Structure 1
Amino acid sequence: MRRAPVAALLAALTLMSTGIFAATTKGDPAKGKEIVDKVCAACHGADGNSVIPANPSLAGQHSEYLYKQLTEFKTQKRKNPVMLGMAATLSDDDMHNVAAYFSTQKAKEGGASDKTLIAAGEKIYRGGIAAKNVPACMACHGPSGAGIPVQYPRVAGQHSAYVIGELNLFRTGERANGPMMNDISARLSDQEIKSVAEYIQSLH
């Protein structure tokens, strides 16, 4: 089967994400904190800075992206048994409030756990891999990893273990709520995924 050009996927995802995010509303960070303390803190940290490498840090993440992910966990468009259980208990307002709270928190610097891979990861993140038709990660996630609100998430400082896990889920199709990432991840080797994940963790 012939793969869709990356440029076409970028355009399609931009249109889809813009439509989804346009429907979101602002939440109440104070109300969000109450929910986070009871439901989210154990895995993601009270301030959104997870100390568990397999669990993502959410501090400073765009509220629109967080809201979208919560709704997709709840509808099982993004499949994760643990997050389904958490999101199922939240109302639409609750999800807006949680997203608003995490978006206002300050992300802590992660640093790279394997510094020998940073150089290789930086090349992929900043320049892509032309021979494999892999675009530069920074085209969507920004040179500093801050993302492009409201379309693409912040990735700077994210745990490399989590990034590796999600890229592999995209690659196998088990995570199917990001068509462009399915296509890109399928073109990356295990070593390339690990390298770019280490570089992402080093960003701040």
Structure 2
Amino acid sequence: MMRWILAGVMMVLAAGTAEAADGKALFAAKGCTACHGAEGRKALAATPHLAGQNAVYLTRQMNEIAEGLRAAPALKPMKPFIDKTAAEERKAMADWLAAQPPADSGTGDAAKIARGEELFDEQGCIGCHGANGAKPLSDYPVLAGQRKDYLAAQIKAIRDEVRSTRRARLMVANVRTLKDAQVDDVAEFLSQSKRK
């Protein structure tokens, strides 16, 4: 009899682990699709596309929100959702999102794209985010193909030291001199770059 009870407990634990490993199901069940869209695409305005994003970066961002290290006003609606996830669930969602095809970025303004590309290179952004923002260091975000409005808001928040996590503070020197119009050019360029 004890063997059957133990076997039953093991089956329940195994089912819980399998469920936790299903990033797609967790992403939907935790309510993430409401803002970030199905499969992490078609996000609401000022909300990032997550499909095709770096999994290590996504996991770190969710953990920082859970720990209160990222606490900007725009993140307040997300905090209760993140608080209801375990660390292994966040990793499962991040792994699943990273494997999804990226969102279609549409078309952009050619002159702004050219100016933005030049600024991206001049400001040294390529060092951490890679060529065209598409091949970052291992735990940095992929910027290519991200929403223009989200990119512009984040660059300005870093420049103005509103977003001030340790990593964001490393970027301040690179973006401090950018005027709003230049930030918009960089955001235009990155939004039109292709996410691998």
Shift in Å, 1:67? 0.4
**Equivalence map 1:62-81=2 (5 Å):** 62-79=54-71, 80-81=75-76
Q: 1:35 aligns with which of 11, 23, 26?
A: 26
CA distance in 2: counterparts of 1:28 and 1:196, whole angstroms: 40
- 1:197 aligned to 2:192? no
Report the TM-score when normalising by structure 1: 0.77
**1:88 maps to what in 2?**
83
CA distance in 1: counterparts of 2:33 and 2:148, whole angstroms: 20
**1:182 maps to what in 2?**
172
Write the letter of the residue equivalent to 2:126: M
Write the letter of the residue equivalent to 1:65: Y
Residue pair 2:21, 2:89 contacting (<8 A) in 1 also: no
Instruction: In structure 1, list runs of 5 or more residues that go unmatched.
Output: 1-26, 129-133
| SS of aligned partner of 2:104 | coil
**2:47 maps to what in 1?**
55
Residue pair 1:146, 1:155 contacting (<8 A) in 2 also: yes
Q: 1:145 aligns with which of 103, 112, 133?
A: 133
Write the letter of the residue equivalent to 1:122: E
**2:9 maps to what in 1?**
none
Aligned pair in 2 of structure 1 residues 28, 187: CA closer, same or farther (>3 Å)? farther
**2:38 maps to what in 1?**
46
CA distances 1:87-106 after superposition (whole Å, capped 9, x unpaired): 11111111111111101101
Shift in Å, 1:157? 0.7
Q: 1:167 aligns with which of 133, 155, 158?
A: 155
Q: How many percent identity over aligned positions?
A: 29
**1:104 maps to what in 2?**
99
Shift in Å, 1:112? 4.2
CA distance in 1: counterparts of 2:80 and 2:40, whole angstroms: 19
RMSD: 2.0
State the aligned residue count: 171
Residue pair 2:20, 2:88 contacting (<8 A) in 1 also: no
CA distance in 2: counterparts of 1:108 and 1:76, whole angstroms: 29
Aligned pair in 2 of structure 1 residues 105, 42: CA closer, same or farther (>3 Å)? same
Aligned pair in 2 of structure 1 residues 112, 193: CA closer, same or farther (>3 Å)? farther
Instruction: In structure 2, list runs of 5 or more residues that go unmatched.
Output: 1-17
Residue pair 1:115, 1:198 contacting (<8 A) in 2 also: no
Aligned pair in 2 of structure 1 residues 28, 196: CA closer, same or farther (>3 Å)? farther
Q: 2:145 aligns with which of 150, 157, 177?
A: 157
- 1:117 aligned to 2:105? no
Report the TM-score when normalising by structure 2: 0.80
